[in-house]
Amino acid sequence: MKLQRNGRTKALAIGAVALVSSLSLAACGSDNNTPTQGGSGTSAASSGSSDAKIDCGKGGQLLAAGSTAQQNAIDVWKAAYGSACSSTTITYSGGGSGAGVQQFNQGKLAFAGSDSALKPAEVEASKAVCKTGQGIDLPMVAGLVSIVFNVDGVDKLVLDGPTLAKIFDSKITKWNDPAITALNPGVTLPDATIQAVHRSDDSGTTANLTTYFSKAGGGNWTYEPNKTWKGQGGQAADKSAGVSAQIKQVKNSIGYVELSYAQLNSLKSAQIATGAAKPVEASAENAATTFANAKVTGTGADLTLSLDYATKAEGAYPIVLVTYEIVCDKGNKPESLDALKSFLNYTISDAGQKAIGDKGYVPLPAALATKVKTAIAALA
């Protein structure tokens, strides 16, 4: 897909700038859009926005698990939604996308979070749980994969697809390798061994990163994109929090986490050379440029997106991800369906998307959000 930066793209990018601020999860309960305390029925958020009212429904218990990429977003949503809808209890276990899909298809969850869409075999397996329907993908959390680094004496670093693919497959092992120095003129890179850190658990973040390697790595990544890490060498860490901790502690290290984790842990993010006029920073604004051109490729109620990881558009950050909430289109458990629709309606609302936009994520384009709302309304 060829991306063009048009007026709509610029408008979305400008909107993302207005939404992004420094990440401070400790303050999530005091956001302007935090709803007022309530039980059931409809509660209004304190922001006064016309889209900030929450229909709490009948309440109930929601069990969910999966993507750690959206863990920070879920925490924000739980705080806001919980203060308005105290009759609903939401439990989210961020064990990784692979674990979430597995538990969903075992009938243990009301919804699962995954940073990659369901595969055909997973959709087929979901029919045993959804009974009269099947699992579908609803995009809910948009973000980007930040290449984080901790290199002695280096505050700014530029990397590209081929170089990153080689680094994470142990084909480039020194920070002063000619491929890296060529991308960073004037930067003194140490003669130190690269400590590359990858996810140990099945991860949609890994799937998105390796898709980028496959699309923009110049043939240097010889593995199929996968939730399971396939590269050679490196160190493994559990979940995004584990990778963040490793990068923070280990000198001359490099890894990948979502922007919210990079911000939360004060980690440095590399700029990506894409072939555009200048390298692209890891920012919500630049990711918004990419998301504005995403296409829906799912059929029926499924809203799987196609993203251009090899984009060369000016100001378009290429390593993006979208977390899907996986639900049954039909055949949801009656005891949790009302609470499920209520919670998801809040997360896709303007207030819900703004809440996580303030925390380093990228609010979904309005046209896509409208499609998600329609799909939620039809859940049965």
Least confident window among 3-17, 275-289, 323-337 = 3-17
Residue 9 pLDDT: 38
Average pLDDT (191-197) is 98
Q: Check whether 29 has a pLDDT greater than 90.
A: no
Give CATH for domain 33-143+327-377.
3.40.190.10
Contact 319, 147 (CB under 8 A): yes
Does pTM top 0.85 for this prediction?
no
Residue whose pair of structure tokens reads 């440029």 in the numeric block: 289
Q: Check whether 245 has a pLDDT greater than 60.
A: yes
Least confident window among 175-184, 336-345, 357-366 = 357-366
Average pLDDT (169-186) is 98
Beta strands at 271-273 and 235-237: parallel, antiparallel or unpaired:
unpaired
Q: Check whether 16 has a pLDDT greater than 70.
A: no
Q: Write the DSSP string, 260-300.
A: HHHHHTT-EE-EEE-SSSS-B---HHHHHHHHTT-EE---T
Q: Check whether 203 has a pLDDT greater than 50.
A: yes
Degrees (nearest 5) of the Cα angle 221, 226, 227?
135
Phi, psi of 371 (to 5 degrees): -65, -40
Nearest to 194 by CA among 149, 228, 147, 156: 149
Confidence of residue 358 (pLDDT cuts 50, 70, 90): confident
Q: Write the DSSP string, 303-363.
A: --EE--TT---TT----EEEEEEEEESS---HHHHHHHHHHHHHHHSHHHHHHHHTTT-BP
Q: Check whether 30 has a pLDDT greater than 60.
A: no
Average pLDDT (195-203) is 95
Q: How far apart are CA 269 and CA 159, in angstroms?
A: 10
Tell me the per-residue pLDDT of 86-144, one tens digit each, with 9 for 90 and over.
Answer: 999 999 998 899 999 999 999 999 999 999 999 999 999 999 999 999 999 999 999 99
Do 145-287 and 33-143+327-377 have the same topology in CATH?
yes
The one-letter code for the residue type at 229 is W
Q: What percent of the chain has pLDDT over 70?
A: 86
Residue 230 pLDDT: 97
Contact 137, 326 (CB under 8 A): yes
User: 213-230: b or e for each residue (b if 16 or more CB lie within 10 Å)?
Assistant: bbbbbeebbeeebbbebe
Confidence of residue 360 (pLDDT cuts 50, 70, 90): confident
Tell me the per-residue pLDDT of 228-240, one tens digit each, with 9 for 90 and over.
Answer: 999 999 999 999 9
Q: Show me where the domains of the chain are located.
A: 33-143+327-377, 145-287
Instruction: State the sign of the Cα–Cα–Cα–Cα dihedral 85, 69, 248, 235.
Output: positive
Q: Check whether 2 has a pLDDT greater than 60.
A: no
Specify the CATH number for 145-287; select among 3.40.50.720, 3.30.1490.100, 3.40.190.10, 1.20.1090.10.
3.40.190.10
Residue 57 pLDDT: 84
Confidence of residue 52 (pLDDT cuts 50, 70, 90): low
Provide the strand spans (E) within the chain: 42-44, 53-55, 60-66, 88-93, 111-114, 135-150, 158-160, 195-199, 235-237, 253-258, 268-269, 271-273, 295-296, 305-306, 320-328
Q: How far apart are CA 254 and CA 180, in angstroms?
A: 13
* Direct distance between the N- and C-terminal alpha carbons of the chain, in angstroms, rounded to an integer: 34
Q: Check whether 214 has a pLDDT greater than 80.
A: yes
Q: Check whether 153 has a pLDDT greater than 70.
A: yes
Token pair, residue 224, equals 């199929």
Tell me the per-residue pLDDT of 340-355, one tens digit each, with 9 for 90 and over.
Answer: 999 999 999 999 999 9
Q: How far apart are CA 325 and CA 346, in angstroms?
A: 13
Q: Check whether 190 has a pLDDT greater than 70.
A: yes
273 Cβ contact partners less than 8 Å away, ≥ 6 residues apart: 158, 159, 160, 183, 279, 280
- More reliable by pLDDT, 297 or 24: 297
Beta strands at 305-306 and 295-296: parallel, antiparallel or unpaired:
antiparallel
Work out the mean pLDDT of the chain and round it to a whole number: 87
Q: How far apart are CA 360 and CA 240, in angstroms?
A: 15
